[in-house]
Amino acid sequence: MGMSEATEQAAPKTKRPTRAHRREEILAAATRVFGSKGYHQGSLVDVAAQVGITHAGVLHHFGSKDKLLWEVLEYRDRVDVQHLEGKHIPGGMDLFRHLVTTARLNADRRGIVQAYAVLTGESVTDGHPASSWVAHRFSVLRGEISQAVLELATERDVRLPDGEAERAAGSVIALMDGLQLQWLLDPDAVDLAEATRFAIESILTATLGSTVEITGS
């Protein structure tokens, strides 16, 4: 298998859907299917039907169901970061503003929230293909958020007990995930954006020892 020489990076537009485009369609469909039925219950036939091909066609592009899931998870990350103008995660108070904003947006993106909730829940089953992804994601988020907490503490000349920032970070993540679950099951019982803002403010206020308010982004 000789390696071909470097090809141009710019993708030429063709009549037939390009490989990249078709893959994106399938990824979007898979996100919907895994979101509404879960990974195990959502079948490749379901995914394929949504893009008008057969399940073997999906496998042609992704090789196996597990690999498809992996790419779906990466795809979600990519889309998630996309709407972030700066293209990088903000720090300090901006991070928490961003979290609340995301919650507000999520209230109109039920499918994405559901996919995330379902896959996260499923991921704690034995040997689930998404478990390491979710665990890694939690770990990264805890790091970023605890960093932001530390920044706020420094700004306000507050000295935090050992591990307090990490604890607060874990709590904030837990809050958001848990609220999403309740909201998915009963959208009228929980105001996703408002509850998220309230809860994050509570955690920060208690952690920093002085009132914290998260103003509209």
Partner DNA sequence: CCACACTTACTTACTGGTTAGTAAGTCAGT
Partner DNA sequence: ACTGACTTACTAACCAGTAAGTAAGTGTGG
Amino acid 112 reads I
Q: Can you tell me which of 38, 57, 90, 91 binds a copy of itself, judged by CB under 8 A?
A: 38
Quick one: tokens of 185? Answer: 């099951």
Check binding of 156 to DNA (CB under 7 A).
no
CB of 53 to DNA, least distance (A): 4
CB of 54 to a copy of itself, least distance (A): 23
Q: Can you tell me which of 24, 36, 50, 55 binds DNA, judged by CB under 7 A?
A: 55
Check binding of 174 to a copy of itself (CB under 8 A).
yes
Check binding of 128 to DNA (CB under 7 A).
no
Q: How far is residue 8 from each of residues 4, 18, 153, 201, measured CA to CA in Å?
A: 12, 15, 49, 49
Q: Can you tell me which of 36, 50, 102, 147 binds a copy of itself, judged by CB under 8 A?
A: 36
In the block, residue with structure tokens 């710019």: 10
146 close to 200: Cβ distance less than 8 angstroms = no
Q: Can you tell me which of 12, 86, 161, 216 binds DNA, judged by CB under 7 A?
A: 12
Check binding of 94 to a copy of itself (CB under 8 A).
no
Number of residues counted as binding DNA (CB under 7 A): 27
Q: Can you tell me which of 1, 2, 15, 88 binds DNA, judged by CB under 7 A?
A: 15
Q: How far is residue 9 from each of residues 6, 12, 19, measured CA to CA in Å?
A: 9, 9, 14
- Give start and end residues of each alpha helix (H) in 38-163: 44-50, 55-62, 65-82, 92-106, 110-122, 131-155
Check binding of 61 to DNA (CB under 7 A).
yes
CA 16-21-22 angle, to 5 degrees, is 75
Site residues, DNA (CB under 7 A): 12, 14-19, 22, 42-46, 48, 52-57, 59-61, 63-66
